[in-house]
Chain A
Amino acid sequence: MMGLAAGPDGELIIADMDTVALSNLHRQLLYCSADISKPKSVVAAAAVQRMNPDVRVTPHQNQVGPATEMLYRDNFFRHLDGVASALDTIEARAYLERRCLRCHTPLLDSGTEGTQGNVLPMVPFLTEPLKPASTPRDGTFPLCTLRHFPRIIQHTLQWARDEFEGLFQLPAEQVNQFMEDPDFLKQQRPREVLEQVWNSLRERPRDWQDCVRWARRRWQSCYHDAIIQLLHIYPPEHETSPGVPFWAGDRTCPHPLTFNPDNDTHLDYVLAAAHLFAQVHRVSPCRDRAAIQAILRGVVLPPFVPQEGLQIPLTEEPAEQAHIPTDHRQLRQITQDLVQWRQDLVGNEELQAPLMEPIHFEKDNNVHIDFITAASNLRAENYSISPANWLTSKRIAGRIVPAIITSTAAVAGLACLEVYKLVWGCQDLSCYRNSNINLSACLLLRVQPPPAPTYWYGGREWSCWDRLEMQGVGADGQAVTVQEVLDWLQVSPVLSALSQVTLGDAGPDPDTHLLQRTHGWTVTMLLCGDDVLYDSKADAETRAQQQAQRLSENFRDARKLQQQDLELLYICEGQDAEAEDTGPPLLCSLP
């Protein structure tokens, strides 16, 4: 619409590795239902082309991130007039910001959440770098809260998510690994893994009825047996110390549930769990609730006897259930069974490989959400927590960010207004705007962005954007050595600035210069990220090694080896003065 990139030297690059989904359609106008499952960047590019045939647009189906650094090297960023980002993870945003900061590429960051949104321009030498976005609201919960002492529905929902993985994804992956790898048993495996594989194979269903019965047993185990077990260790009247009840404050005393096939939630659980279990084992599921109820009525389970001697940790110690002594005889039996079963299964030609199909949780899959909702609400009932409906369960378990076309469109418009300023190379901070909207409260706030922060180093004021630049190529065409970098730094403006400060008004006198080199400041440490390239405090041999090394060799982080430009930090110390904080970084361009 604006005619951006419509000229002969223009280019608009759209990068997204995702495909169009039904749930995307309500908030944008570049794709429609016919485009579902097609790559977003490709469809978007085509739509842009239709709106303005003059625009030169190129779709990329890549995620711009550490994995694609070879594709999007520093030169790529340096040639861009700007980057507009609308990313949905903090990590992706932080990465892009680092690249733009380094390559001095203007960045327009925009985001929305529900009816709120913002646009933040980052302009080299003018604005401050973007602040990291605030951490997401649902962090991880402590393990023992999730396992034994939930208090709110978010705990039971996370528990249900973990159950999902633990029932329908991980066991299937492990069994497949076991079946495919003949050396599986020879490697040291934790006892739990072997037991898990053994259980999974033992429980393999023959038909749908088996799946239903399996689900019923799971129900009993989670909502009845486990609670009885917990109450056996910590009965309702248990006291931590005389007069101090255990079940108080943060801990709500649970009660076991009794299965009732006429209870919709109980039936929802069985239906969803059996369905997913059947999928894992490639058995055809059935949705007939009445038929399932009939099967359930015929299930008789043995009464549960709580185990003695089990311990339940009350704090987050990692060494949790290691207290049950290993029954070596049982372990040998398990191993023998596994060997035998694998032989039988491999010999069975009717079975297709892989043996089981792991299911990955998808928030837009209704059966997955059916399971999560039922599993979570049943546990909530155990602990007298208010249940959540299907939609809320989906939102929390799926970590869904609410979104709507209005805030999305408004933010896009506000971002485009900043594009005008970037295109005209505006160097006046007062023209740019940080925008904040909240459409639910009719709020639209646009303010001048804060200026780029400065700091003092070596008696001079530097911008957070400043850096020293050095061609890291020696006369022989190879990458420079560490010693050459040190030499370069020693005569750089930074060090002479430091020296001038300590020596007072020494003035531009050749003798003074020599004085600076021998009595002034020196570089005591050279770093590249976490790698120490040079340390003046190391012994003579190490130092010699360090100084001789070329910048293109030997980094712990293999990615650094491929980088064109290395960002180096240095620490300087004066003979009579303390080490200064770090100055502007040194960007070293390699051949």
Chain B
Amino acid sequence: MAGSEEEARYSRQLYVLGGGARRLPGAAVLVSGLRGTGAQVATALVLAGTGRVVLHDCDAACTADRAHQFLLGESDLGQNRAEASQRALAELNPHVVVETHSGELSEAFLASFQVVVLTESPLEEQLRIGNFCHAQGICFIVADTKGLAGQLFCDFGEHFVIDDPAEEDPVSAAVQHISQGSPGVVTCMGTEDFQDGDLVTFSGVQGMTELNSQEPVPVRVLDTSRLEISDTSSFSPYRCGGLVSRVRPEECSHKPLCQALEEPKIEVANPEDKPRSRSLHAAFQALHAFRRERGRLPRPRAPAEAERVLELARSLGAQQGPLDENIVRAFASVSAGDLCPVAAVLGALAAQEVLKAITRKFQPLNQWLYFDALECLALPGAAELTETDCAPVRPRPECCCWPYQSLLFPVGLGP
């Protein structure tokens, strides 16, 4: 890897992802839904060097998409969103295979992936696919952006092994000698940091180079300078050099979506934000229910529709603690909008979780995270917008970029 073409391209990223990055080229990820969030997730995965990224979408690109989905060009309008996005993505990284799929997501199709990301699916589809993935050991992620808020959910199965939970360089010792034997004995510069049963990897060993590419092996501490490892009798004789590094894997266990919905474990940076996140959790579920009822999302800035979402949220009653009604109303009133910056944030967070699933580095999200920028609604002018202000206007070709933004802000973004 040192000095190779991949190193030259991914150099700065390798320092973040560590050894687990070697699993990226062999990984296969499905991204379903190629609106703003899906585009952000797919872009990040392609740039990071995920071997195979498959884009799924059943809908055609429309003018409004171009305000938040940067992969689509003028000439892509009317074409399947996945296919149109595939062209721009393929150019971003020649080392990655980008494919498309516009049919339904059958179990046979899903089985070929290591990670599945849903960005625009209704709740029923999320549950169906989530259950299947959970049973099959496929990492499952929901990344849903609605207006000024986003929802992220991870289910990496019952037994997900994290090879490298920490961010710092691993503990290591210089190797002085390795015997050829069964078991093999490693003499190194001090074994204080090692314990029986620790897993180790080797690097830079000269002579007995077979050890350099091995998966982690357990050691037994013999004394202050020697470790016992498994059979090395068939390896080439040790010459010199090398570093032995400790690897401390952890295991985490996730619930499937159907269970995690009821008693959600929500990650918050600040305990004071828990009520807000819980309210958003209820609001997102209420939104799914509203959509089932009316066949669409709430009309922007329509108070009656926002009230209906709030009613549904109350009746779901699954959240622990009081509902912040203002948050739910605000969320509902702009949930039909799409904003590129919000999609960027949530898409990036989701992409990092995908990378965690593949590289097994860093703690995965346990299991929900909510992000919102609802403070933007307090901006001068934005708070007073009414339903008629936001009625869909037939977009002119030359201002294709602002119609959906106008649902949140007065039209005329400039100077």
Contact = CB atoms under 8 A, between A and B. Distances in A.
Interface string B364-376: 0110010101011
Contact of A412 (B47, B240, B344): B344
Contact of A431 (B1, B241, B371, B376): B376
B379 A5 contact: no
Main secondary structure of the interface of B (DSSP, over half): mixed
A7 B412 contact: yes
Interface string B86-104: 0000011110000000000
A268 B360 CA distance: 33
Contacts of B9: 22-23, 25-26
Contacts of A7: 412-415
B343 A439 contact: no
B363 A441 contact: yes
A420 B378 CA distance: 11
Interface in B192-233: 203-204, 206
A390 B2 contact: yes
Nearest to B242: A387
A442 to B, nearest CB: 5
A1 B340 contact: yes
A439 B348 contact: yes
Contacts of A366: 2-3
A28 B40 CA distance: 11
Given A7-B412, A364-B8, A442 B16 contact: no
A366 B5 CA distance: 11
Contacts of B399: 3, 6, 54
B241 A265 contact: yes
A440 B363 contact: yes
Given A5-B415, A404-B13, A414 B362 contact: no
Interface in A1-31: 1-7, 9-11, 22-23, 25-29
A522 interface: no
Interface in A336-356: none
A11 B380 CA distance: 23
A204 B289 CA distance: 81
Given A7-B412, A7-B415, A439-B348, A1 B3 contact: no
A29 B241 contact: no
Given A6-B413, A54-B399, A413 B344 contact: yes
A33 B92 CA distance: 8
A402 B413 CA distance: 35
Given A22-B8, A401-B12, A115 B73 contact: no
Interface stretch (A225-233, A422-430, A458-466, A580-588): A422-430
Given A5-B415, A389-B243, A406-B349, A26 B47 contact: yes
Interface in B393-415: 398-399, 401-402, 405, 409, 412-415
B414 A3 contact: yes
A265 B239 CA distance: 11
A237 interface: no
A426 B413 contact: no
A50 B68 CA distance: 14
A421 interface: yes
Contacts, number: 242
Interface in B273-328: none
Contact of B13 (A3, A26, A50, A440): A26
Nearest to A48: B70
Nearest to B1: A391
A345 B108 CA distance: 76
Interface in A71-130: 81, 114-115
Contacts of A409: 40, 43-44, 344-345, 347-348, 351
Contacts of A390: 2-3
A385 B340 CA distance: 50
Interface size range of chain B in the complex: 35 or more
B3 A3 contact: no
B48 interface: yes
**Most chain B CB within a 10 A radius of its CB, from A389, A412, A430:** A389
A542 interface: no
Contact of B401 (A23, A54, A447): A54
B78 interface: no
B335 to A, nearest CB: 17
A387 B269 contact: no
Given A1-B68, A389-B203, A424-B409, A414 B414 contact: no
B239 A262 contact: yes
B341 A2 contact: yes
A440 to B, nearest CB: 4
B60 interface: no
A391 B363 contact: no
A33 B94 contact: yes
Nearest to A113: B16
B401 to A, nearest CB: 4
10 contacts: A2-B413, A5-B414, A25-B47, A370-B3, A388-B243, A402-B13, A403-B12, A409-B351, A414-B345, A442-B365
Given A25-B93, A26-B12, 16 more contacts: A2-B340, A4-B414, A7-B413, A23-B12, A404-B16, A405-B13, A405-B43, A405-B47, A408-B348, A417-B373, A423-B414, A424-B381, A440-B352, A441-B363, A444-B269, A444-B349
6 A-B pairs with the lowest CB-CB distances in the bound complex, closest first: A413-B344, A7-B414, A402-B15, A416-B341, A445-B269, A410-B348
Interface of B: 1-3, 7-17, 40, 43-44, 47-49, 67-68, 70, 73, 91-94, 167, 169, 172-174, 189, 203-204, 206, 239-241, 243, 267, 269-270, 339-345, 347-349, 351-352, 355, 362-363, 365-366, 369, 371, 373, 375-376, 378-382, 398-399, 401-402, 405, 409, 412-415
